Structure 1
Amino acid sequence: MPIVDLPISVLSQESIERTRPHLDPERVRYYAEHLDEAMPVVVFDIDGDLLLADGYHRLAAAQQLGRTTLKADVRKGQRRDALQLAIDVAQQQRPLTKQQILDAIARRGRPVSEG
């Protein structure tokens, strides 16, 4: 699917790990300064519910800047697809195993169901 300007207001208020994601203020600040050059966020359309899978810092930066839309790559899928993408991105950014990432996600809130 092509990249779209997605209204922030249509994003699901529930994050992928079912809790507030951990936001690093330095990364939010960086994205606030470079948002127009940043990669689009990745959103999964799960039966009409738009779930952010990758891009919490970019979203926070856009909101901080007062923007109402965000460049997004919208994909069809299920929650498990969004979770798998989040795991893949985390593994690219940090040398962690899938289980370590799932454990870290679970520690931030109630355990995550992959289905």
Structure 2
Amino acid sequence: MIGADAIRGYVDLMVLSLLRTRPSYAYDLAHQIATVAGNDYAIKQTTLYSAVKRLEAAEFVTSFAGSSDSGKPRTYYQITPAGQSHLAEKLVEWEVTKSVVDRFAKGASS
């Protein structure tokens, strides 16, 4: 299982990636993350809520009130155009990050 420290900087990328296809609420986002990550990563609710609030403060996502099938109120999140741009930048950064770490993992020489 991936430790929280190893993935901390990429939680925003994961959330924005999920929101680029459709608006969602926090519990559903957690479920989607668990489904995609399998047994390799489990997000804590506090980590997820911190991420969506941080993304909302940065205007990368907006929230709106909705309800469940049972009528229970829910807060939904959707990605903004600024969030789409930020996601594109973070995806490029991720590819570079992977490349650099791979160089060391595969036995970098100076």
TM-score, normalising length from structure 2? 0.26
1 or 2 for the larger relative contact order (CA 8 Å, sep ≥6)? 1
Higher helix share: 2
TM-score, normalising length from structure 1? 0.25
Q: Which has the larger radius of gyration?
A: 2
